[in-house]
Amino acid sequence: MATEQKSPPVQPAHPNDFARGLAGVVAGRTAISSLDGDLRYRGYSIESLASGGDFEEVAFLLLHGELPSQAEHAAFSKRVHASAGSGLPVATMETASSGMHAVIDALRGLAESCPKASPMDALRTGVSMLGQVELDHIPGTREALLAQGERLIGQVPALLAAWMDLSAGRSIDPWPDGSIAKALLQRLTGRTPSAAHVAAFGTTLVLYAEHEFNASTFAARTVVSTGSDMHSGITAAIGALKGPLHGGANEQVLEQLCAIGSADRAEAWVTEQLAAKRVVMGFGHRVYKDGDVRAKLLGKMCRDMVRGTAAESLEDLADRVEQIMLDRKGLKPNLDWPAARIYHALGLPVRVFTPIFVVARMSGWTAHIIEQIGDNRLIRPMSIYCGSPSRDYSGLAHRE
């Protein structure tokens, strides 16, 4: 008879034997992406995917494990577009119609009472309500999880566009035809984008789509490791991505550049930040010590896209700050540094920069959630106690 495999006993840790922020700690295995030397999605280099693939192709790869055939790509794009067109769950139950109205009505009420609320909060709330509408209580089969993931990839960009309309007091425009990149860029700018702008925007979605066990992905995996549902995991991930040390950095990058104003003021500004021990957003990375390959790819695209336009002066400023940060701190840009400038050049408002990150990362998050559920063990690390030593309790009547 087979005996139960038990975990080895936990040995007491030395008071200083831990990794702050879990830096360098291997917390699990994944077949979705790797950062060993270079960034790869399911074995494919990020350079090849960013230059040759579109977001739908990459999302299919992350979810399903292989690149799609032409027929699979067309069918996947059609399913995602159908979900985006409604922005809410596909009508698979009798209550779906009333549920769709409930989500939109709730967002409308929030927009009327809190029009300046963060779009990140709106997405977090919207995804949570989508889970309630879909009655997503516990994880379903792999096929059901894949279907949920595909729907969310379409629903979330539509929710973002709907919130931007509602918070501005506008009626919600219909979802345009075309790819996620084209349709979302059109909805957020109110203009039909050029092919070059769609390509640049789509590249940012590909580059932001997945990045191994980052904070938001790990948050999502931790939630579903308890046996919870996909929407709960995604809701937690959005909350984690909101922070300025993770996804929110791309918004602060543009705010920094605007605060500096021109290249001749860069030296003084950086000096002031470093003297005050303030973080210069857009530089350094926990994993990439020799520079973020995604920043290199997007930085060149950004410079090419704005050549000969008024935005070229912003690139001159960015180049100057990059050189100063390299000389002073030995730090190179991460993806947020060029992404913020690309989004600015595309005419996107700063408050949607991080929500666009959510749109892209939805593909990676859902893939990780499905992987975690498929080979699950509760994620439960331990800590080193550093509080008061053992002491005796005395009742309230005996305490002055």
Where in the sequence numbering do the catalytic residues fall?
A: 246, 285, 336
What gap in Å lies between CA 56 and CA 54, rounded to an integer? 6
**Residues 119, 352 contacting (CB under 8 angstroms):** yes
What gap in Å lies between CA 351 and CA 117, rounded to an integer? 10
What gap in Å lies between CA 324 and CA 400, rounded to an integer? 58
What gap in Å lies between CA 174 and CA 177, rounded to an integer? 9
Helix (H, G, I), strand (E, B) or coil at 283: strand
Q: Per DSSP, which regions of 69-120 are E strands? A: none
Other C-beta atoms closer than 10 Å to the C-beta of 2 total 4
The partner residues of 45 in beta bridges, in order of sequence, read 40
Alpha carbons within 13 angstroms on the beta-carbon side of residue 289 total 3
What secondary structure does DSSP assign to 37-49, as a single string? SS-EETTEEHHHH
Question: What is the C-alpha radius of gyration for the chain, rounded to an integer number of angstroms?
Answer: 23
Q: What is the separation of C-alpha 360 from the centre of its chain, rounded to a whole number of angstroms?
A: 6
What gap in Å lies between CA 22 and CA 221, rounded to an integer? 15
**Residues 204, 356 contacting (CB under 8 angstroms):** yes
What gap in Å lies between CA 212 and CA 336, rounded to an integer? 17
**Residues 290, 334 contacting (CB under 8 angstroms):** no
Sign of torsion, CA 30 294 50 194?
Answer: positive
**Residues 180, 157 contacting (CB under 8 angstroms):** yes
DSSP assignment, residue 395? -
Phi-psi region of 207 (alpha: psi -120 to 50; beta: other; left: phi over 0): alpha
What secondary structure does DSSP assign to 164-190, as a single string? HHHHTTPPPPPPPSS-HHHHHHHHHHS
**Residues 347, 40 contacting (CB under 8 angstroms):** no
The partner residues of 283 in beta bridges, in order of sequence, read 333
